[in-house]
Amino acid sequence: MTKHMTLKTKRNKSGFFAIFPVLLLLVPGIGMASGTAYESMEAFQASAEYAAFVIDNLWILLAAAMVFIMHLGFATVESGFTQGKNSINVIYKNVFILCTGILSYGIIGFQLMYPGDFNGILGLSGLGIGFDSTDPVGMLTPAYGEQMTIYSDFIFQAMFAATAATIVSGCVTGRVKLSAFMLFGALLVAFCYPITGSWVWGGGWLDGLGFYDFAGSTLVHGVGGAAGLACVLILGPRMGKYINGKINSIPGHSVPLATVGVFLLWFGWFGFNGGSVLSANPAEVSYVFVTTALAAASGALSAMLATRLFFHKLDASMALNGILAGLVGITAGADVISPILAAVVGAIAGVIVVGSIVMFDKLKIDDPVGAISVHGVCGIWGTLAVALFSPAATFGIQLLGVLAIFGVTFLFSLVVFGAINAVMGVRVSENYELLGLDLSEHGVGAYPNFEMIDATLKTSQAEAT
């Protein structure tokens, strides 16, 4: 039997997008109604809809590839913002999470997140991707329910799934046991993320109430931020971060490397948000590109201004986090918030991320890359902003959804990471942490040539004295 999934397609057509039906009538082949039945694949390929379907499906695959590149961005941001002695460990974690995320999402996560008809809270229609070989028309044509094949749907969603655990990696970097993180990350991606995702994108109870999250300010980024917060509370701060009530800065080893990562993320975000249109509709995709870019730019500038006014600093790392804050902030409403208001959403997110990073430091919650603030706090802001700046949702329902998803994710992470801590421990020894996780867990440093140069300079200095 063909499984018709409820996908991320329930768009509010009020305001600007109310004119789309008229526009689509004037553009042949674009925006054809999904779900049309065909007698065979051959009949579909000979139909007038086929060309538009090919273009739409290709855009989803390209968007998936752009989101894939974001994982390189996450790896380089995390590495650049943290100490060089942990760089290989950062890369190893990010490789593991991406690969495990794709596999686990293919085995169970995809059908947990899109279970078809279910009770709105928890459902599972089987294991695997769910391709029905007896009904290729239902899987590979608009009869599937979208302008894409089931395979394109899966790979696009799989790229999203791995993102949540990658966010956690940045929160716990520098002191977490690799084995503990790997186990936790695998469980988060396989179970927690798809279950909360099903409540909205899978047609669950929050979707029924009208909760709106276009591309995942809460469902993706908020989940990562909430999980990261729970893990950091159990793990504790890095050695030397807080001494005698004083907050000590532990600078990252390469702001240029982090900058490369942020710009890779910005590039990939056009696929993250633009692909969430789930078609190549030129009006919608271009609109989302514009709101995404405006929010990112205004987020950077407002973070620059905030750090200058309040701390009298020209802080490049805050400017970079301002870009990410703007991107996270607009993700929930990129298709329904106007361009000018998108810039406002991004600007507010840029100020919020600066204040949030300082707040967590004062609370002695050590987040080396600011991921809880960027993805968690700004994810909340972006989700609520949908109700404040568009008619797509009500504030009460948005707040309820945020509380439900953040609450469940936080409790899941607290219980699971706590259980892992009780069984095997989650933190490396002091000696391992001081030495660095590259040498202590991987047996090799990330920059052996630099270490040789440094040793030579020290030897020369000693001989000179």
**Tens digit of each residue's pLDDT (9 = 90 or more) over 307-337:** 999 999 999 999 999 999 999 999 999 999 9
pLDDT of residue 12: 35
Q: How far apart are CA 361 and CA 366, in angstroms?
A: 6
pLDDT of 30 reads 44
What was the pLDDT predicted at 164? Answer: 84
Cα(455)–Cα(232) distance, integer angstroms: 34
Q: CA nearest 253: which of 80, 421, 135, 90?
A: 80
Please tell me the predicted confidence (pLDDT) of residue 461: 53
Per residue in 379-415, pLDDT (tens digit) is 999 999 999 999 999 999 999 999 999 999 999 999 9
What long-range pairs does 50-57 form, CB within 8 A, spacing at least 24? 52/147, 53/141, 53/142, 53/147, 53/148, 55/280, 56/147, 56/148, 56/278, 56/279, 56/280, 56/281, 57/147, 57/148, 57/149, 57/152
Q: Which of 179, 165, 116 is nearest to 145 (CA)?
A: 116
pLDDT at 125: 87
As a whole number, the mean pLDDT across the chain is 90
Q: What's the pLDDT score for residue 32?
A: 43
pLDDT of residue 11: 33
Residue 318, sorted as left (phi over 0), alpha (psi -120 to 50) or beta, turns out to be alpha
Distance from the Cα of residue 317 to its chain's centroid: 19
pTM tops 0.85: yes
Q: Which domains does the chain have, with CATH numbers?
A: 47-441 (1.10.3430.10)
CB 67 within 8 A of CB 159: yes
pLDDT tens profile 264-296: 999 999 999 999 999 999 999 999 999 999 999
User: Is 34 a residue whose pLDDT tops 70?
Assistant: no
From the number of C-beta atoms within 10 Å of its C-beta (0-12, 13-18, 19+), residue 133 rates as exposed
The average pLDDT across 85-98 equals 96
| Position 203 pLDDT exceeds 70 | yes
With b for 16 or more beta-carbon neighbours within 10 A and e for fewer, the 9-31 pattern comes to eebbeeebbeeeeeebeeeeebb
Q: Which of 306, 368, 316, 412 is nearest to 81 (CA)?
A: 368
At residue 21, does pLDDT exceed 70?
no
User: Is the pLDDT at 31 greater than 80, yes or no?
Assistant: no
In angstroms, rounded to a whole number, what is the distance separating the alpha carbons of residues 151 and 206? 26
The pLDDT value given to residue 462: 56
Instruction: At 228, list the tokens.
Output: 């990261």
**136-146 tens-digit pLDDT:** 999 999 999 88
> Which are the contacts of 97, defined by CB distance < 8 A and separation ≥ 6?
162, 165, 166, 169, 185, 189
pLDDT of residue 38: 84
Is residue 246 helix, strand or coil? Answer: strand
For residue 254, what pLDDT is reported?
A: 94
Residue 353 has pLDDT above 70, yes or no: yes
- Residue corresponding to tokens 């702001």: 255
CA angle in degrees (0–180, nearest 5) for 341-345-347 = 110
Q: What is the mean pLDDT of residues 57-81?
A: 97
Average pLDDT over residues 216-233: 97
Residue 407 corresponds to which tokens in the numbers above?
């609450």
35: left (phi over 0), alpha (psi -120 to 50) or beta: left
242: β partners = 247
Q: Which of 147, 97, 185 is nearest to 417 (CA)?
A: 185
**Measured distance CA(246)–CA(12) in Å, rounded:** 49
Residue with the larger pLDDT of the pair 14 and 212 = 212
Ordered DSSP codes for 38-72: -SSHHHHHTSTTHHHHHHHHHHHHHHHHHHHHHHH
Q: What is the largest CA-CA distance in the chain?
A: 87
**C-alpha triplet 113, 115, 116: angle, nearest 5°:** 130
Residues in the chain: 465
Other CB atoms within a 10 A radius of the CB of residue 61 amount to 16
- Look at residues 346, 60, 113 and name the one whose alpha carbon lies nearest to residue 223: 113
Tell me 346's DSSP state. H
What are the tens digits of pLDDT across the range 407-465?
999 999 999 999 999 999 999 999 999 999 999 999 998 888 765 545 454 555 555 55
Instruction: Identify the pLDDT of residue 406.
Output: 98
13 or 213: whose pLDDT is higher?
A: 213
Answer whether 335's CB lies under 8 Å from 16's CB.
no
The span from the CA of 339 to the CA of 342, in Å, is 5
pLDDT of residue 37: 72
